[in-house]
């Protein structure tokens, strides 16, 4: 389909779908945020299992609960992020989302032990109490930050795409960046952070890095 003006035609590939063209710095900042958010989501997932082990063990039930629910929360985040990005297609809202996610990640070390202790006592008498307990614990501790992190990819695509003709290339770049961050978030906690810093500090460091990057984004986009 083309838009006709007199004798001239403008192809659909040139139709602007995002009027705010980010500067080079803002473009790289969004890419960095996508990378860090991808790393944070996997870092939270790996640390979650380590945190829950003393209370519910590390059986296949626990791993299935962690992996399955984290994927579910990310799926919800993808959908919600797509809706929000269409309604509020400004970078500052993306950075606010990740800032809130970082605060919830930072809360995990403070509230995890009481919640996990309650789960352990409540479901100890059930035959498959480990499954029930792990599901409840993951919902209480990790649902909100993971859903918010899931919003990052669709939101960043909405911000970065300038023309319909560049949608495929931009989407591919952002998803590749997110996946690269997830790879780092898988191995870095297991090989470095968890053995040397411990679970609580791993959560804290993840929250700190994500929060600082979000603050930079908010400050540099506050007048946008």
35, two tokens? 């990378």
Strand 8-11 and strand 2-5: the pairing is antiparallel
Domain with 140 in it: 25-154+169-221
Q: Which range, of 83-87, 95-99, 157-161, 185-189, averages the lowest pLDDT?
A: 157-161
Asked, for residue 216, whether it belongs to a domain, the answer is yes
Nearest-10 crossing angle of helices 129-150, 24-56: 170
Q: What DSSP assignment string belongs to 175-205?
A: HHHHHHHHHHHHHHIIIIIHHHH-HHHHHHH
Asked, for residue 15, whether it belongs to a domain, the answer is no
Asked, for residue 163, whether it belongs to a domain, the answer is no
Asked, for residue 120, whether it belongs to a domain, the answer is yes
Contact 38, 185 (CB under 8 A): yes
Asked, for residue 13, whether it belongs to a domain, the answer is no
Confidence at 165, pLDDT banded by 50, 70, 90: low
Q: What CATH number does the domain containing 192 carry?
A: 1.20.1250.20
Between 191 and 54, the more confident residue is: 191
The Cα–Cα gap between 197 and 203 comes to 10
What is the per-residue pLDDT for 138? 86
What is the per-residue pLDDT for 183? 95
Asked, for residue 149, whether it belongs to a domain, the answer is yes
Q: Which range, of 36-40, 108-112, 149-153, 220-224, averages the lowest pLDDT?
A: 220-224
Q: Which range, of 3-7, 44-48, 115-119, averages the lowest pLDDT?
A: 3-7
Asked, for residue 159, whether it belongs to a domain, the answer is no
How many domains does the structure of the chain reveal? 1
Confidence at 124, pLDDT banded by 50, 70, 90: low
What is the per-residue pLDDT for 133? 75
Residues 6 or more apart whose Cβ sits within 8 Å of residue 76:
147, 150
The pTM is what?
A: 0.85
The Cα–Cα gap between 213 and 216 comes to 5
Asked, for residue 160, whether it belongs to a domain, the answer is no
Calculate the average pLDDT of the chain.
84
Residue 100: CB atoms within 10 A of its CB come to 15
Percent of the chain with pLDDT over 90: 56
């Amino acid at each position: 389909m083309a838009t006709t003006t007199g004798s001239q035609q403008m192809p659909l590939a040139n139709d602007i779908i995002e009027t705010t063209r980010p500067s080079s710095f803002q473009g790289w900042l969004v890419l960095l945020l996508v990378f860090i958010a991808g790393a944070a989501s996997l870092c939270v997932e790996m640390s979650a299992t380590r945190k829950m082990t003393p209370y519910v063990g590390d059986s296949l039930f626990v791993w299935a609960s962690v992996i399955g629910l984290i994927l579910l929360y990310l799926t919800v985040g993808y959908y919600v992020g797509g809706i929000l990005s269409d309604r509020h297609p400004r970078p500052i809202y993306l950075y606010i989302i990740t800032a809130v996610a970082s605060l919830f990640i930072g809360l995990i070390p403070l509230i995890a032990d009481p919640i996990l202790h309650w789960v352990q006592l409540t479901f100890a008498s059930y035959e498959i109490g480990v499954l029930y307990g792990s599901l409840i614990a993951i919902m209480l501790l990790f649902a909100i930050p993971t859903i918010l992190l899931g919003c990052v990819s669709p939101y960043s695509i909405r911000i970065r795409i300038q023309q319909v003709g560049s949608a495929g290339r931009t989407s591919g770049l952002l998803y590749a960046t997110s996946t690269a961050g997830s790879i780092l978030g898988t191995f870095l906690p297991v090989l470095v952070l968890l053995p040397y810093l411990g679970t609580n500090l791993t959560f804290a460091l993840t929250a700190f890095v994500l929060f600082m990057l979000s603050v930079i984004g908010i400050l540099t986009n506050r007048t946008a």
